[in-house]
Structure formats: structure tokens, C-alpha cells
Amino acid sequence: MTAWQRFLETFFKPEMLAQYWPSIAHGVLVTLEIASAVVLTGLSFGLLLAGLRAYRLVPLNIAIVVFVDVFRSLPPLVAILIIYFGLPGVGINLPSFVVLWLVLSLVLTAFAEEIFWAGIISTPKGQWEAARSTGLGFSETLLFVVLPQAVRLGVPPLTNRTIAITKNTALGTVIGVGEILNQATAAQSFSGNATPLMMGAIAYILLFLPVVAVGRWIETRFQWRRA
């Protein structure tokens, strides 16, 4: 057997491809579901917290900053393990996919809050003054004038961060969430062949490449020359 044949045999064995594509496809579906849920909740709560922080209520802001800093410094895997294996001890049993969704959402919330907040504070003071001088209240100014600008400013850093965090759905494999990597490693240990892992890798690329491309498109679309 030549080296090339051995390579194909290891990573692209036809029987393996045929046997395991349905479970990898199922994994793609699960990854897709969790990733979209994480993006939806993480970005909305990040925006919500950044908006609340603009009111500068000291106790609330301390709580937000503590939350944000904790979840920006904690490796998501650690949080996943603590919640999944710890919470049952106090009588709370969460399904593994809920734990994965929860932790990744909290992490994305934390990073998104910081990015949106940076956008809020870099919106020029004159924007607030112009809006307030026409009789808009604080909340209306925040909602209609400042947040739309903060969101646009935040889009480029957010796309990268969002992709980085949604890729962490692969961490779900350690608590048995049936996403791509979990399906692939299970197949690999049954078959003793690396083909399912390669299928998983290709599935990730097929899944995230369009996301990266859309991210790039959003980045250019959301920028506008500032007056």
C-alpha cells in the first residue's frame, strides 16, 4: 500500500463515509440549532445589558461589570463542567444541550455587552445633546439615536467574537451533546478509523465558512463614513 493509499484509507475511507454520514448530518443539525440559539440570546442580552449600563445606576453597573468580567475570564469548558456536574448536587438537573446553550450564551452576552458598551460610549456627546434638545427623553435617545450607532460600531469586532464563541459548541462533546464533534468521536471510537473526524472537520468548515463570509459582508455593509 502506498503512502497515498494509506492516507486515503485513514481519512477518507469510502465505507466509513457511507456508514457515518447520517450521524454527522444529525450532528450538523444539532450544532446549527445550538449555535443559532446562542447567537440570538447572547447578542440580545449583550445589547440589553449595555443599554441598561447606560443608565449609570451604580449597583446595577457593578453587577454587570462583575458578570461580564467573570464570563470573559472563565474558560467556557470550566463553566460547562461546573454547571453540568455541579448543579445536580443541589437538585437542578439540566439537559446537556441546555447547559451548553446557557454557558455559551452567557459568554457571548459578556463579550457582546463590552463591545456594545464601547460603541455607546464612543458615540459623540453631541448626538445625545442634539436628541435631548428636540425633547427626546433619555431612553428614546438611547434607543433611536445611540444604540443604532453603537450596534454599527460593534459589528466588525462582534462578527469575529460571535464566530469564535459559536465554534465552542464543539465543547458540548464532553457532556454528551450530540453535535458534530460528539458524533464524529463516537464514530471514530466504534470504527477505529479517523474518517468520521475528518467528516466532522469538513462539516465545521462547510457550516462556518458561509458564516465567516456573511460576517465579512455585514462588516462592509454596516460601515458608513462618519459625518
Partner 1 sequence: MAILTVSGLRKSFGANEVLRGIELSVAERELVFIIGPSGSGKSTLLRCLNRLEEPTAGSVTFDGREVTARATNLNRLRRSMGMVFQSFNLYPHMTALGNVTLALRRVLKKSRAEADALGLAALTGVGLADKASSYPNELSGGQQQRVAIARALALDPRIVLFDEPTSALDPELVGSVLSVMRDLKARGMTMLVVSHELRFAREAADRVVFMDAGRIVEEGAPETIFSAPRELRTKAFVAQLIR
Q: Is 124 in the site for partner 1 (CB under 8 A)?
A: yes
Which one-letter amino acid corresponds to residue 143? L
| Binding positions for partner 1, 188-227, rule CB under 8 A | 224-227
197, 184 contact by CB (below 8 A): yes
Window of 11-19, 110-118, 129-137, 192-200 that interacts with partner 1 by CB under 8 A? 129-137
Q: Which residues lie below 8 Å from residue 39, measured CB to CB, with a gap of 6+? A: 108, 162, 166
What are the grid coordinates assigned to 74, written together?
472563565
Closer to partner 1 by Cβ: residue 91 or 126: 126
Which window, 15-23, 53-61, 126-134, 179-187, contacts partner 1 (CB under 8 A)?
126-134
Decide if 181 contacts 27 (C-beta within 8 A). yes
For residues 29 and 211, the answer to whether their CB atoms sit within 8 Å is: no
Closest among 180, 154, 177, 139 to 51, alpha carbons compared? 139
Rule CB under 8 A: choose which of 129, 202, 209, 210 binds partner 1: 129
In angstroms, give the least distance from the CB of 129 to partner 1: 5
The reply on whether position 145 binds partner 1 by CB under 8 A is yes
Amino acid identity, position 130: A
Q: Which of 144, 160, 205, 206 forms a contact with partner 1 (CB under 8 A)? A: 144
How far apart are the C-alpha atoms of 146 and 135, rounded to whole Å? 15
140 binds partner 1 (CB under 8 A): yes
**Residue among 149, 163, 201, 219 that touches partner 1 (CB under 8 A):** 149
**Which residues of this chain interact with partner 1, rule CB under 8 A?**
124, 126-127, 129-137, 140, 144-145, 148-149, 152, 224-227
